[in-house]
Amino acid sequence: MKLKSIEYIKAAPKWDQGPKDGLPEVALVGRSNVGKSSLINLLLGRKLAYVAKTPGKTQLLQYFLINKTFYLVDLPGYGYAKVGKATRHAWQPMMQDYFTRRKTLRAVGLLIDIRHPDSPLDAQMKDWLYFHQIPLFLIVTKADKITKGKRKAQLDAVKSIYKVEDIVLSSSLKKEGKNDVWKRIDASILLTAPEKPV
pLDDT for residue 100? 95
- Find the range with the poorest average confidence among 42-46, 158-162, 189-193: 189-193
pLDDT for residue 5? 94
The angle at the Cα of 80, spanning 77 to 83, to the nearest 5 degrees, equals 100
Query: From the CB of residue 41, how many other CB atoms can be counted at a distance below 10 Å?
Result: 16
Distances (CA, A) of 161 to 111, 112, 114, 120, 126: 14, 11, 12, 10, 10
* pLDDT of residue 54 exceeding 50: no
**Reported confidence tier of residue 193, pLDDT bands at 50, 70, 90:** low
pLDDT for residue 77? 87
d(CA 149, CA 87): 40
131-168 residue pLDDT tens: 999 999 999 999 999 999 999 999 999 999 999 999 99
**Reported confidence tier of residue 4, pLDDT bands at 50, 70, 90:** very high
| 6-189: CATH superfamily | P-loop containing nucleotide triphosphate hydrolases (3.40.50.300)
d(CA 127, CA 59): 22
* pLDDT of residue 55 exceeding 50: no
**Reported confidence tier of residue 190, pLDDT bands at 50, 70, 90:** confident
d(CA 134, CA 105): 9
Q: How many residues does the chain have?
A: 198
81-140 residue pLDDT tens: 555 555 556 678 889 999 999 999 999 999 999 999 999 999 999 999 999 999 999 999
Q: Rounded mean pLDDT of 25-41? A: 93
* pLDDT of residue 78 exceeding 70: yes
Are 25 and 102 in contact by the 8 Å Cβ rule? The answer is yes
* pLDDT of residue 58 exceeding 60: no
**Reported confidence tier of residue 195, pLDDT bands at 50, 70, 90:** low
